[in-house]
Structure 1
Amino acid sequence: MGRNPMKAAVTLCAAASLAVPLGTASAAPSAENASQRTRDPVLVDCSSRPDVRPEAFVLACGDGNSHLVSLHWSRWDADAAVGRGSNAVNDCVPYCAAGSFRSYPVTVRLDQPRTWGKDPGEWHYTRMTLTYTDGRPDGFPRTVTYPLWD
């Protein structure tokens, strides 16, 4: 740099002019992350896919013998989600592979949103409460609460 002061000055000015736009661009992701935190939470399914207002949801990931269908959501916000649908449950009579699915009307409440381990910029509901409104599977209480996976 000492040999050609003009070249050094031009190089320094060029570097400074490039640094200004880079500084502005590096601020953009933090604004984007802030907007992600204000989005409504998601419901994470068995395959770790996030969804908002799903029409169906598998409760029994291992065998699929219990799932929610025909879901219609009346609320979905930062604190909770509330909807109605049916819980289709396999009666497993005489055994699960030969059983029949029976549907029971339910109200669904999702709550306790937390950051999602797979994507810390995303929030997901961590608890689901089902309330059976007209009949319920044998042995089930009227209201059932499940922790949801991360």
Structure 2
Amino acid sequence: MRGSVVGTAVTLAAGALLTAAMTTATASPPPTAPAPSRTGASQPVLVDCLWQQTVRPDDFILACGDGNSRLTGLRWSEWGPDGATAEGVNMVNDCKPYCAAGTFRSYPVTVRLDGATSWKKHPEVQRYDRMSLTYPEDRPEGFKQVMTYPLWD
């Protein structure tokens, strides 16, 4: 009987702690950095592999087919009709000896978006059509210091 009372008390205490933790988490102030936005009616958007439009994303997949190149930790200093600029890291799989057994390596990078034009899928939305990556230090094997890519339409 005593074991049953102790077990019930432990269960009730755990439930109270969980409730307190959830209440505290939901009452917490919003983070200081703005979260990525899924809308962008008044400003250009970045269209991802899944045709989702975002503004100031934290991460962005460059190699949609296999995910072997992605941008992470993006910190945007500009975002507007004339372009967008961020600092972040390009995580690239070296694919040695082959991609499934490769190692992801990180390279600091400056990201520049420009060429805001109407998006074919939603002509009322302006989307960036070009991305340039500048590697201030090391860069992936075979990459130039500045790599420019067309973006999805």
Question: Normalised by the shorter chain, which TM-score bucket?
Answer: 0.7 to 0.9
**Could you tell me which residue of structure 2 aligns to residue 85 of structure 1?**
88
**Could you tell me which residue of structure 1 aligns to residue 132 of structure 2?**
129
- Checking the alignment, whether the CA contact within 8 Å between 1:82 and 1:109 is kept in structure 2 is yes
- Could you say which structure has the higher helix fraction? 1
1:47 matched to 2:50: yes
Shift of 1:79: 1.2
Counterpart-to-counterpart distance in 2, 1:46 and 1:95: 24
Counterpart-to-counterpart distance in 2, 1:108 and 1:92: 23
1:57 matched to 2:60: yes
Shift of 1:37: 9.4
Larger Rg: 1
- Checking the alignment, whether the CA contact within 8 Å between 2:74 and 2:87 is kept in structure 1 is yes
Shift of 1:133: 1.3
Q: For 1:90-129, what aligned pairs fall within 5 Å after superposition? A: 90-129=93-132
AA in 1 matched with 2:107: Y
Counterpart-to-counterpart distance in 1, 2:136 and 2:110: 7
Consecutive unaligned residues in structure 2, runs of 5 or more: 1-38
Count of aligned positions: 115
Q: TM-score scaled by structure 2?
A: 0.73
**Could you tell me which residue of structure 2 aligns to residue 72 of structure 1?**
75
AA in 2 matched with 1:39: S
AA in 1 matched with 2:112: R
Q: TM-score scaled by structure 1?
A: 0.74
Consecutive unaligned residues in structure 1, runs of 5 or more: 1-35
Counterpart-to-counterpart distance in 2, 1:104 and 1:42: 25
**Could you tell me which residue of structure 1 aligns to residue 148 of structure 2?**
145
Report Cα offsets for 1:57-83 as digits up to 9, x if no partner: 000000000000000000001110000
- Checking the alignment, whether the CA contact within 8 Å between 1:37 and 1:121 is kept in structure 2 is no
User: Identical aligned pairs, as a percentage?
Assistant: 58
Shift of 1:38: 6.9
SS in 2 for 1:61: coil
